[in-house]
Amino acid sequence: MRTWSAPDVPSLSVRGPQVRLHDTATGEKQATQPEGPARLYVCGITPYDATHMGHAATYLAFDLLNRAWRNAGHEVVYVQNVTDVDDPLLERADKVNIDWQALAERETQLFREDMEALRVLPPQHYIGAVESIPLVIDLIQRLQEQGQIYTVETDLYFRVRSDKRFGSVSGLDTATMTALFGARGGDPDRPGKEDPLDCVVWRGERPGEPSWPSPFGPGRPGWHIECAGIAQQHLGLAFDVQGGGSDLVFPHHEMSAGEVQVAWPGETFAKLYAHAGMVAYDGEKMSKSLGNLVFVSALRLSDVDPMGIRLALLQHHYRDDWEWTDQGLWDAVDRADRWRLGLARAGGAPAAPVVEGVLAALADDLDAPRAVELVDAWVEATLAGDLAEESAPGAVRRLLDAALGLAL
């Protein structure tokens, strides 16, 4: 698929420190140690509605990781998928009576425009589920060779417990897994399954649904195998970070990892699993199914400064669950204006401490709120009349752009 266009990223004269990131699997902060380019996979959208603040917060979190790695001197290979065929998309298309492909294309294009406005660095490989069907078929065949696929009617299931490490991403017990599986697209109660947690990898054709030919009969891919196949194909095994929102820890990331680890026995899917907290609105998780949404595109259409939107998200730590409020947005818009005042001065407070401090904060589990505090302090010192360093506003402007993605 076509990706979106990249913003310019100024290069900095100082190198950032090694990046440490919280790993969901171990519950600890870990140093990332890319061998060669840093390899990142982030689960993309299911394009049946516009980008809301929850999506934007998640993609921004991994944009900070991408930038922190680059500032630490790494090349980054970033892959993201688009779930351009799946139940929620087909249901929505049906409900609003439009062609599912037209809906997916329209919403994916809107997402690209939102990401561009927010200055999110694009993935090098932006891959749709539909275009990945051949590689998904290969992966299913590998799992068949391992003897870990069985059939229920015309659907193919993967034995999730054939991965000896099953459960190691989420660390959940079976009861919790079963409840989450049911709530997040799984079918724990389906008769004929060997284990309630086994997941579908190929869904046989249903009347009125799109399908593609395969050695297993016409049908379409299951959800987890889509990301498993795309990540493995474009990043290889043991890539550095698998990312997404915390609603994907189980079953999605657990099961994608299992599928690859069984297809390549003894290998590891990802070295680290990183998850962004959930953004709520009106007291509940912002979600397309609940309809309590604030859209990036709607704010853009209301002439809200995209850098204000970006800063509103950066004011929160990516791992926290938090609630979107209009007040938070307007605070961020005011803050961006105040920062612009500081940057417009003919000189400023010394830049080196803020540059080093911001790079260190971001390398320490993407601590954007700490970075914002440090910039606030520099702006206040500068506005209070500390104009000692002529080059400081330029240096801070480049820092904000390179590290935080804020072009002010």
Among 66, 81, 148, 178, binds ligand 5CA (CB under 6 A): 81
Among 72, 77, 227, 354, binds ligand 5CA (CB under 6 A): 227
Question: Smallest gap, in angstroms, from Cβ of residue 248 to ligand 5CA?
Answer: 5
Among 1, 19, 43, 311, binds ligand 5CA (CB under 6 A): 43
Among residues 16 and 277, whose Cβ is nearest to ligand 5CA?
A: 277
Is position 201 an interface residue for Zn ion (rule: CB under 5 A)? no
β-pair type (239-245, 38-42): parallel
DSSP labels, 194-205? SSTT-EEEEEE-
Which x/- pattern over 22-61 shows residues binding Zn ion (rule: CB under 5 A)? Answer: ---------------------x------------------
- 279 interface partner picked from Zn ion, ligand 5CA, none, CB below 5 to 8 A per type: ligand 5CA
Question: How far apart, in whole angstroms, are the C-alpha atoms of residue 65 and residue 90?
Answer: 33
List, in sequence order, the alpha helices (H) in 36-167.
53-71, 87-96, 100-117, 133-145
- 247 interface partner picked from ligand 5CA, Zn ion, none, CB below 5 to 8 A per type: ligand 5CA
DSSP labels, 167-234? TTTT---HHHHHHHHHHTT--TT-TT-SSTT-EEEEEE--TTS--B--TT-SEEE-HHHHHHHHHHHH
DSSP labels, 146-166? TT-EEEETTEEEE-GGGSTTT
Among residues 137 and 332, whose Cβ is nearest to Zn ion?
A: 137
Size of the chain, expressed as the number of residues it contains: 408
Among residues 126 and 339, whose Cβ is nearest to Zn ion?
A: 126
Among 24, 83, 148, 162, binds ligand 5CA (CB under 6 A): 83
> How many angstroms separate the Cα of 214 from the Cα of each of 141, 143, 149, 327, 395?
11, 15, 15, 52, 56
Stretch that binds Zn ion, among 124-132, 173-181, 223-231, 334-342 (CB under 5 A): 223-231
**Measured on CA atoms in the order 284, 287, 293, 295, is the torsion positive or negative?**
positive
Is position 257 an interface residue for Zn ion (rule: CB under 5 A)? no
Among residues 24 and 83, whose Cβ is nearest to ligand 5CA?
A: 83
**Measured on CA atoms in the order 198, 201, 205, 208, is the torsion positive or negative?**
positive
The answer to whether 166 and 254 have CB atoms below 8 angstroms apart is yes
Is position 85 an interface residue for Zn ion (rule: CB under 5 A)? no
- 285 interface partner picked from ligand 5CA, Zn ion, none, CB below 5 to 8 A per type: ligand 5CA
Which x/- pattern over 44-63 shows residues binding ligand 5CA (rule: CB under 6 A)? Answer: xxx-------xx-xx-----
DSSP letter at 34 equals -
Stretch that binds ligand 5CA, among 95-103, 119-127, 271-279, 375-383 (CB under 6 A): 271-279
The answer to whether 158 and 173 have CB atoms below 8 angstroms apart is no
**Interacting residues with ligand 5CA (CB under 6 A):** 43-46, 54-55, 57-58, 81, 83, 227, 244-245, 247-248, 276, 278-279, 285-287
